[in-house]
Amino acid sequence: MSDSFQTQTSAASTAVEDAPLVSVRGLEVAFRTQGGTVNAVRGVDFDIFPGETVAIVGESGSGKSTTATALINLLPGNGTIAAGSIMVDGKDITRFSQRQMAAIRGGVIGYVPQDPMSNLNPVWSVGFQVEEAVRANGLATHRKDVKARAIEVLKQAGLGDAERRMQQFPHQFSGGMRQRVLIGIGLAADPKLLIADEPTSALDVTVQKTILDHLETLTREKNTAVLFITHDLGLAAERASKLIVMHRGRIVEAGASVDILTNPQHPYTQTLIAAAPSLASRRIRGMAAPGAPVLDVAALAAEHNPDHERELQEAPVTIDVKDLTKVFAIRRGSFRSEPLTAVDKISFQVRKGSTLALVGESGSGKTTAARMVLGLEPPTDGDIFVGGVNLNGLSSRGLFDLRRRMQPVFQDPYSSLDPQRSIGAAIAEPMKVHGIGDREARSARVRELLDQVSLPQSIAERYPNELSGGQRQRVAIARALALKPEVVVLDEAVSALDVLVQAQVLQLLADLQDELGLTYLFITHDLAVVRVVADEVAVMEAGRIVETGTSDQIFENAQQPYTQRLLDAIPGSGIDWGN
Amino acid sequence: MTRYILRRLLQAIPVFLGTTFLIYFMVFAMPGDPVLAMFGDKTPNPTQLENLRAQYNLDQPFIVQYLLYLKGVFTGDLGETFSGQEVSEVLRRTFPVTLKLVLMAVVIEFLLSVVIGLVSGLREGKFVDNLNVVVALVLTSIPAFVAMFLAQYFIGIKLGWAPVTVGANATWGAMFLPALVIALTVYVTGMRLMRGSVIEARNEDYVRTAYAKGLTSRRIIPVHVARNSLIPVVTNTAASFGALIAGTTITEGIFNIPGVGNTLYQAIIRGETPTVVSFVTILTIVYVVVNILVDLLYAVLDPRIRYV
């Protein structure tokens, strides 16, 4: 594998410059765990040339982030570089002392971390933390110069009122602004290489686009090489000229981005590209023939089926929301409070057996709306009818009964299952609460449900920590289906999953919908996913629904500028995909 | 902020009334006649007894006694001890002694917690860390009074490095040994807090980012690791200050220190209601005030916390 890669990089390199800035050969990283040594990176070779943008793409556990942290020698305590070399400017940094390494970090290799929330120290002001970077890299020594330089760094990173912002603390910044600070710190000393480890995966798409555009401008101006680490193929292809695809600690394919996307060679890359939901995909339906290949989202997308669409148009309305409003009181001081309208007079309908996607960025009110439909949050005004029953004025007994017909699946499969309970107990709990069946009947139903979500029955005896994220989300779906509900509210139910797993879960949801005639209310920020699951789409902005329509109408002919902005911001939206 | 402090002080009023009432009631309900006890083995004549009872309001019903006491507190009159001294005068004499002792103990406790906790946390799982964990386990397992007798015997008597008892002359130097022993018996909580926070902080993303900026350990450990870890330790130490002020009875008894704890002990033995209640009231107020200060300290140490 590495041989073919060498030839590819050297072919590309002649176009840029002759000597590579970073040259990684035979890199192996091992982690000591209680169960022995685990090799997270196994023999990785690649080069990065000055001014070039390279992206390492892979799923969680592929070793992409480990490779990046090895480049600046910041592996977690139990990780070590077991073999191989990392040449930076002709010197092997794997042999460097801590002191030598400190000199490289910041000045030669800058680093922008993934999570803007946890990467700034909460007890120091933002200015302090930028000044620290300025001083560490010897950019200025006098107090006044340091401060001036720090303000400059923040301004360059796109923070308008940097002078005032300097004294503020990280918690007073939004996620996007914190990420700008981190990018500023990463670029403060004009490094030759900037490592950006999933720099925007915690941010809204429109913010992500602005920040990545800005980063691109900065690095192009200064001819900084960039190494992107990302799970998002679209983003990688859009931002990098060269792609490295990693799988289980190895590079499976590398080369020019366009070549890989349009003509992937390795089977893994092919599945990855096929599974990536994109704007070109269509609505997937339940599979007619079980046993068909599972992962190809594009192939699974049903052909335009006018009959099916008409059927849905005529189906009875299951969820009917009218002028739903939620006003929160935000505390300002001890006695005063300000009203905040989280959801502002929204109305929508979901027909039986169909899927409505409620799309919006963080703060748009989509989750609050979902919580009100689930009866977890009382509305300030407006009505919600589920199967003809008005949630308003429902007694707690009535609400309890209603919950049999409506179940949620939440975003985080790690925190939505009680670690103390076995999978079987977790799935059986709703039946127990609602007094359905005896022990025997319930465990039979658990086995049936596990079959439905394609998990082995033996899993019932196991505990959540033994399961992968995808398996857990299947368990959460099985639990939601335990009471045979008509409606399932899916709140970002696939957002935390890797792309391949995501494709499988989406397929499962489509199958179950066909089989059981389920009605889905699908809450998500990810428009690309919407394309493959939704019949109808409602776009929310600042508490209001700004546009509704069928999936095709929204994706092919969006009327509102906000919807258009959202669509444009999807990474990879402008790329002609291999599928 | 001002509003917050005001609210906390208002909350202290029911605490004050509740404690004084409870203490007053408990001392009242104690068996034995305090007036009789004043005479020891001698048999007093009945008129003398009557006069004394009237003098200390002991002939009144309980609730009247309590209200009279409260009236005294609000007019600055804490009453008299049975030996005729003003309670406020006794407090003025003994309180500084205890304050000195506890202050010294708390400073030593804080230094031990931070230094040992930091070293242990940075060397997690290494020899120094394991040794420290064992030593800490031994020290917390020894009851305070045993540790004090041991210190008194070996350091005071055998080695002669420190005075065996303190007595009337309660200087800083004379009280160093008792303060050190107190600190050794309580530092473990703070040390474990520090150690745990340091281990956690070392793996924080912002520490990795600080390294990525090009900073060295010499700066990162004090500025990003230790500074963040101090928050729980400082507040724990401050809270233990309140607890120690109220809990020096045993130490003061063993080392014969003329402080609050010692005096309180004597007063309880003699059933001197005004003295006991006044002392406990003062200690309660100190405890409440220290706790308010601890909460305010949180906001100083952690900018994310703001009181409104």
**Residue A364 neighbours by CB distance under 10 Å:** 24
For residue A74, list chain B residues with Cβ-Cβ distance below 8 A: 208, 211-212
Gap from B118 CA to chain A (nearest CA, Å): 17
Give how far the C-alpha of residue B173 lies from the chain's centroid of Cα atoms, to the nearest Å: 20
Phi, psi of A240 (to 5 degrees): -115, 150
pLDDT at residue A279, rounded to an integer: 58
Give how far the C-alpha of residue A280 lies from the chain's centroid of Cα atoms, to the nearest Å: 19
Where among A433, A449, A484 does a domain terminate?
A: A484
Length reported for chain B: 308
pLDDT at residue A84, rounded to an integer: 93
Assess whether A360 and A453 both reside in one domain. Answer: no
- Mutation target for B interface from A123, A178, A190: give the one with most B CBs within 10 A: A123
> B219 touching A, CB under 8 A?
yes
pTM for the model: 0.79
Q: What is the pLDDT of residues B224-270, one digit of tens each?
A: 999 999 988 988 888 888 778 867 888 888 888 888 888 888 888 87
CATH fold of the domain at B90-255: MetI-like fold (1.10.3720)
Q: What is the dihedral of CA A435, A441, A447, A453, to 10 degrees?
A: -40
Distance from C-alpha of B236 to C-alpha of B190, rounded to nearest angstrom: 6
Confidence of residue A10 (pLDDT cuts 50, 70, 90): very low
Cβ within 8 Å, pair B211-A115: no
Q: What total of structural domains would you count in chain A?
A: 3
Cβ within 8 Å, pair A123-B231: yes
**Residue A415 neighbours by CB distance under 10 Å:** 12
**Given a cut of 90, is residue B113 above it in pLDDT?**
yes
Q: Which of A77, A123, A185 sits opposite B302 (nearest CB)?
A: A123
CATH number of the domain at A351, please: 3.40.50.300
Residue in A64, A544, A79 with CA at minimum distance from that of residue A325: A544
Q: Which two tokens stand for residue A435?
A: 């007094």
Domain that holds residue A476: 418-484
Distance from C-alpha of A403 to C-alpha of A159, rounded to nearest angstrom: 47
**Given a cut of 50, is residue A292 above it in pLDDT?**
no
For residue B7, list chain A residues with Cβ-Cβ distance below 8 A: 334
Q: Which of A69, A169, A331 sits opposite B303 (nearest CB)?
A: A169
Confidence of residue A285 (pLDDT cuts 50, 70, 90): low
The better pLDDT of the pair A12, A565 is held by A565
Confidence of residue A11 (pLDDT cuts 50, 70, 90): very low
Q: What is the pLDDT of residues B183-221, one digit of tens each?
A: 998 899 999 999 999 999 998 999 999 999 999 999 999
Q: Which of B209, B301, B302 sits opposite A119 (nearest CB)?
A: B209
Phi, psi of A535 (to 5 degrees): -90, -45
> B268 touching A, CB under 8 A?
no
Q: What is the pLDDT of residues B47-105, one digit of tens each?
A: 877 887 777 777 778 888 888 888 887 887 777 777 778 888 888 888 889 989 999 99
Which residues 6+ apart lie within 8 Å of B45 measured at CB?
Answer: none
Average pLDDT over residues A528-550: 90
Assess whether A504 and A563 both reside in one domain. Answer: yes
**Residue A20 neighbours by CB distance under 10 Å:** 22
**Given a cut of 60, is residue B3 above it in pLDDT?**
yes
CB-based contact B274:B84 (threshold 8 Å): no
- Mutation target for B interface from A132, A149, A194, A337: give the one with most B CBs within 10 A: A132
Confidence of residue A337 (pLDDT cuts 50, 70, 90): confident
What is the largest distance, in Å, between two alpha-carbon atoms of chain A? 76
Gap from A56 CA to chain B (nearest CA, Å): 19
SS3 A357: strand
CB-based contact A69:A44 (threshold 8 Å): no
The better pLDDT of the pair B69, B136 is held by B136
Provide the pairing of β-strand A225-230 with A53-57.
parallel
**Given a cut of 50, is residue A258 above it in pLDDT?**
yes
CB-based contact A486:A352 (threshold 8 Å): yes
Q: Residue A458 has what DSSP assignment?
A: G
Cβ within 8 Å, pair B204-A118: yes
Gap from A133 CA to chain B (nearest CA, Å): 5
Where among A446, A466, A484 does a domain terminate?
A: A484
Q: Which of B206, B213, B228 sits opposite A136 (nearest CB)?
A: B213
pLDDT at residue A423, rounded to an integer: 92
Assess whether A426 and A388 both reside in one domain. Answer: no
SS3 A223: coil
Q: Which of A122, A124, A132 sits opposite B215 (nearest CB)?
A: A132
Residue in A328, A282, A345 with CA at minimum distance from that of residue A308: A282
Distance from C-alpha of A307 to C-alpha of A305, rounded to nearest angstrom: 5
Assess whether A369 and A470 both reside in one domain. Answer: no
CB-based contact A183:A175 (threshold 8 Å): no
A216 inside domain: no
Nearest residue in A to B228, CA atom: A123
For residue A99, list chain B residues with Cβ-Cβ distance below 8 A: 216
What's the number of CA atoms in the CB half-sphere (13 Å) around residue A143? 0
Q: Which of A106, A118, A122 sits opposite B212 (nearest CB)?
A: A106
Average pLDDT over residues A146-168: 89
> B65 touching A, CB under 8 A?
no
* Helical H segments across A72-125, by residue range: 98-104
**Given a cut of 90, is residue A112 above it in pLDDT?**
yes
For residue B204, list chain A residues with Cβ-Cβ distance below 8 A: 118, 121
What is the largest distance, in Å, between two alpha-carbon atoms of chain B? 87
SS3 A261: helix
A475 inside domain: yes
pLDDT at residue A282, rounded to an integer: 64
A201 inside domain: no
Cβ within 8 Å, pair A182-B209: yes
Q: Which of B3, B204, B216 sits opposite A102 (nearest CB)?
A: B216
Provide the pairing of β-strand A536-541 with A544-550.
antiparallel
SS3 A420: coil
Query: If phi over 0 gives left and psi between -120 and 50 gives alpha, with beta otherwise, what is residue A255?
Result: left
Distance from C-alpha of B206 to C-alpha of A116, rounded to nearest angstrom: 10
**Given a cut of 70, is residue A444 above it in pLDDT?**
yes
CB-based contact A81:A28 (threshold 8 Å): yes
Gap from B219 CA to chain A (nearest CA, Å): 10
Average pLDDT over residues A66-95: 90
> B304 touching A, CB under 8 A?
yes
Q: What is the pLDDT of residues A298-316, one digit of tens each?
A: 444 544 455 666 666 778 8
Q: Residues of B271-286 as b/e, b for ≥16 C-beta within 10 angstroms?
A: bbbbbbbbbbbbbbeb
pLDDT at residue B170, rounded to an integer: 75
Nearest residue in B to A131, CA atom: B213
Average pLDDT over residues A155-184: 88
For residue B212, list chain A residues with Cβ-Cβ distance below 8 A: 72, 74, 105-106, 110-111, 113, 186
Q: How far is CA B300 from CA A173, A270, B151, B240, B295, in A?
A: 20, 55, 38, 19, 9
SS3 A338: strand
Q: What percent of chain A has pLDDT over 70?
A: 89
Provide the β-strand partners of residue A28: A42, A83
Distance from C-alpha of A507 to C-alpha of A530, rounded to nearest angstrom: 13
Where among A139, A158, A188 does a domain terminate?
A: A188
Confidence of residue A290 (pLDDT cuts 50, 70, 90): very low
Q: How far is CA A407 from CA A32, A400, A420, in A?
A: 42, 11, 22
Q: How far is CA A552 from CA A191, A444, A517, A520, B215, in A?
A: 45, 41, 22, 18, 52
A97 inside domain: no
A113 inside domain: no
Q: What is the pLDDT of residues B9-44, one digit of tens each?
A: 888 888 888 888 888 888 777 777 767 766 767 777
Cβ within 8 Å, pair B216-A74: no
pLDDT at residue A286, rounded to an integer: 60
Residues of A near B (Cβ–Cβ under 8 Å) read 69, 72, 74, 76-77, 98-99, 102-107, 110-111, 113, 115, 118-125, 132-133, 136-137, 169, 171, 182, 185-186, 188-189, 331, 333-334
Q: What is the dihedral of CA A307, A309, A313, A316, to 10 degrees?
A: 80
For residue A330, list chain B residues with Cβ-Cβ distance below 8 A: none
- E strands in A175-298: 193-197, 225-230, 242-247, 250-256
> B1 touching A, CB under 8 A?
no
SS3 B87: helix
Q: Residue B177 has what DSSP assignment?
A: H
Q: What is the pLDDT of residues A382-423, one digit of tens each?
A: 999 998 888 887 888 888 888 888 999 988 877 888 989 999
pLDDT at residue A361, rounded to an integer: 85
**Given a cut of 60, is residue A519 above it in pLDDT?**
yes
pLDDT at residue A336, rounded to an integer: 67
> B41 touching A, CB under 8 A?
no
A45 inside domain: no
For residue A106, list chain B residues with Cβ-Cβ distance below 8 A: 212-214
Q: Which amino acid is at B32?
A: G
The better pLDDT of the pair B292, B35 is held by B292
Q: Which of A115, A137, A334 sits opposite B205 (nearest CB)?
A: A115
Provide the pairing of β-strand A22-33 with A53-57.
unpaired
For residue A185, list chain B residues with Cβ-Cβ distance below 8 A: 209, 213
Q: Which two tokens stand for residue A288?
A: 């007619």
**Residue A213 neighbours by CB distance under 10 Å:** 12
A275 inside domain: no
**In chain B, count of helices (H) and strands (E)?**
14, 0
For residue B202, list chain A residues with Cβ-Cβ distance below 8 A: 77
Distance from C-alpha of B49 to C-alpha of B79, rounded to nearest angstrom: 19
Phi, psi of B216 (to 5 degrees): -100, 165
Confidence of residue A280 (pLDDT cuts 50, 70, 90): low
- Please state the ipTM of this predicted complex: 0.78
CB-based contact B290:B241 (threshold 8 Å): yes
Question: Mean pLDDT of all residues in chain A?
Answer: 85
Cβ within 8 Å, pair A110-B212: yes
pLDDT at residue B35, rounded to an integer: 72
Q: Which two tokens stand for residue B157?
A: 């008597």
Q: Which of A74, A124, A331 sits opposite B212 (nearest CB)?
A: A74
Assess whether A308 and A401 both reside in one domain. Answer: yes
Question: Mean pLDDT of all residues in chain B?
Answer: 85
What's the number of CA atoms in the CB half-sphere (13 Å) around residue A167? 2
Assess whether A541 and A425 both reside in one domain. Answer: no
Cβ within 8 Å, pair A334-B224: no
Nearest residue in B to A73, CA atom: B212
Distance from C-alpha of A399 to C-alpha of A432, rounded to nearest angstrom: 17
Cβ within 8 Å, pair A123-B219: no
Cβ within 8 Å, pair A189-B209: no
For residue B210, list chain A residues with Cβ-Cβ distance below 8 A: 121, 132
Cβ within 8 Å, pair A132-B213: yes
Nearest 5°: CA angle at A137, between A132 and A143? 50
> B217 touching A, CB under 8 A?
yes
Domain boundaries of chain B, sorted by first residue: 90-255
pLDDT at residue A579, rounded to an integer: 45
Assess whether A465 and A506 both reside in one domain. Answer: no
Cβ within 8 Å, pair B210-A121: yes
Q: What is the pLDDT of residues A453-511, one digit of tens each?
A: 889 998 899 998 888 888 888 999 999 999 989 999 999 888 878 888 888 888 889 98
